[in-house]
Structure 1
Amino acid sequence: MAVSYHVRSNSFPSRQHPQAAHVDEQLNRLRSSEAASSSSSSSICQRLSSLQDLHDSLDKMLRLPITHTTLSQQQIEKLLDGSIKILDLCNIAKNGLSQMKESLKEIQSIVRRKRGDLSAEVKKYLASRKLLKKSFQIVLKNFKACQNKNNNAESLAVFGEAETVTVALFESLFSFMSGSKACGKWSLVSMMMSQNKVTCEDEANEFTRVDLEFQSEKSLKVEDVQILESCIQDLEDGIESLSKSLIKYRVSILNM
């Protein structure tokens, strides 16, 4: 169903505004990419870029005079509440990625220098990963509970839909960062069996592949750690760009 932005006004015809039509197209593309995209770092980075463009367009919509006359104070407060919660998701993701990146650098430093307690640092990394997975689940559960209480008024439809696809992206991102659930269930004994190990590695993303190597403690590949670091950097850059667009979007709401 197309997302519309209809306004009843004597000075403005009751039809979809051109800027809203553009946003509608962006939302349709994001929904299509969400349904068709694979769980890969490149697809998630592309969706982050598309979300940045979407919020830049929403920012332009908020600057329209007709938007100022359409939204009530209560609706503006709902947009403010939604925007700050999404920024919180950005910060949670950035903090998690930064924490993992620092741990990986320390592990690589120990491997290069051949000095230090590698086993202890790896255990620290895996324990941190476990805590992050739990925090991601709690954050998304709480956010979705709040979302279900939001007003679905027609004038808020396009903004509500944007919030929905944004949260869906973070759900995919947190799931990706948590690693493959199927691989995560392999026992250490199963992972050491060649057939199961190959199957799991084939399904693993960059995070899971390194997790498995750290858990086995016998097959650490420095190149896989470097690939994960590169993946983390790409995700950090995408989230940072989205955060900047969200801040501009939030400022426009505050100016209303």
Structure 2
Amino acid sequence: MQHPQAAYVDEQLTRLRSSEAASSSSSSSVYQKLRNLQDLHDSLDKMIRLSVTNKALSQVQIEKLLDGSLRILDLCNVAKDALSQMKEGLKEIQSILRRKRGDLSADVKKYLVTRKFLKKSFQKVLKNLKVNQNRECNGKSLVVFGEAEAVTISLFESMFSFMSGSKACGKWSLVTELMNQKKSTSEAEANEFTIVDSVFESEKSLKMEDVQILESCIQDFEDGIESLAKSLIKYRVSLLNII
């Protein structure tokens, strides 16, 4: 019989997989997934502390789970650094907009250069993302650890694609690309990040509201990633305690 804590983790994974399969993506949905991932890793931490799980995990399995959690923490750091750089650039632009004097062009250009660099970084991260599930964990109560890692990495893939304005790579990506060839980029991929990019690149009149909306979105992402990172660290401590 499955332990109630393992059953609860199963339910959380099912919800996350369902949200992952949803075709629509928005900043609020990405933020909600980050919060759900935090809850998932809090639950995994509780599960790790169970004596039945302690006894079932081998040294090799624990080391694999530690490697996986470290890989996810690295993704957290990549995302936090990128968001911090964007937020810093937006603060400079907001300062000029509030004063209603000064030349925006230099700061806008600087922001766009930062965005271009970050997009290349995201593409590199997305290209190198590998989901290494722990296939040595036998038994329903242990397989969930590998599945949790896979779902978490998939969320980061979606988030990096969202932040760069590109579609996440997936099973139907080529089919989707062919179907959407006639759609404009702005129609298919517009979000808080790409809207501001588009305004800056086209040199249209910049609205303070657009910048504030993006800044708020960045803050939400930062909060969600920070909370997830804290849960991952707790989870790693529990794994190390078994050793």
The equivalent of 1:241 in structure 2 is: 227
8 Å contact from structure 2 (residues 34, 225) kept in 1: yes
Instruction: Select 1:153's aligned residue among 137, 144, 168.
Output: 137
d(CA) in 1 for partners of 2:65, 2:151? 15
The equivalent of 2:67 in structure 1 is: 81
8 Å contact from structure 1 (residues 180, 204) kept in 2: no
Within 5 Å, which residues of 2 pair with 1:95-106?
95-106=81-92
The equivalent of 2:54 in structure 1 is: 68
d(CA) in 2 for partners of 1:112, 1:180? 31
Letter in 2 for 1:249: Y
Letter in 2 for 1:151: R
Structure 1, unpaired ranges of 5+: 1-14, 182-195
Aligned residues: CA RMSD: 2.0
CA 1:22 to 1:150, structure 2 compared with 1: closer, same or farther past 3 Å? closer
* Offset at residue 133 of structure 1 (A): 1.4
* Offset at residue 108 of structure 1 (A): 1.3
The equivalent of 1:176 in structure 2 is: 162
Instruction: Select 1:209's aligned residue among 156, 177, 195.
Output: 195
Q: Secondary structure of 1:154's match?
A: coil
Instruction: Select 1:25's aligned residue among 2, 6, 11.
Output: 11
8 Å contact from structure 1 (residues 80, 250) kept in 2: yes
Letter in 1 for 2:159: L
* Offset at residue 111 of structure 1 (A): 2.3
Q: Secondary structure of 2:129's match?
A: helix
CA 1:235 to 1:149, structure 2 compared with 1: closer, same or farther past 3 Å? closer
d(CA) in 1 for partners of 2:61, 2:93? 49
Structure 2, unpaired ranges of 5+: 168-182
The equivalent of 1:58 in structure 2 is: 44
Letter in 1 for 2:39: D
The equivalent of 1:166 in structure 2 is: 152
> What whole-Å deviation, never above 9, does each CA across 1:45-84 have from its counterpart, x for those lacking one?
1111111111011001100111111111111101111111
The equivalent of 2:170 in structure 1 is: none
* Offset at residue 31 of structure 1 (A): 0.5
d(CA) in 2 for partners of 1:92, 1:56? 22
d(CA) in 2 for partners of 1:229, 1:93? 15
Q: Secondary structure of 1:126's match?
A: helix
8 Å contact from structure 2 (residues 61, 134) kept in 1: no
* Offset at residue 154 of structure 1 (A): 1.9
The equivalent of 2:29 in structure 1 is: 43
For the pair shown, the structure with the greater C-alpha radius of gyration is 1
d(CA) in 1 for partners of 2:126, 2:204? 35
Letter in 2 for 1:234: D
The equivalent of 1:226 in structure 2 is: 212
Q: Which moved more, 1:235-244 or 1:33-42?
A: 33-42
Percent identical pairs in the alignment equals 76
Aligned length: 225
d(CA) in 2 for partners of 1:221, 1:253? 49
> What whole-Å deviation, never above 9, does each CA across 1:154-195 have from its counterpart, x for those lacking one?
2541101000110111111111111256xxxxxxxxxxxxxx
d(CA) in 2 for partners of 1:129, 1:240? 21
Q: Secondary structure of 1:209's match?
A: helix
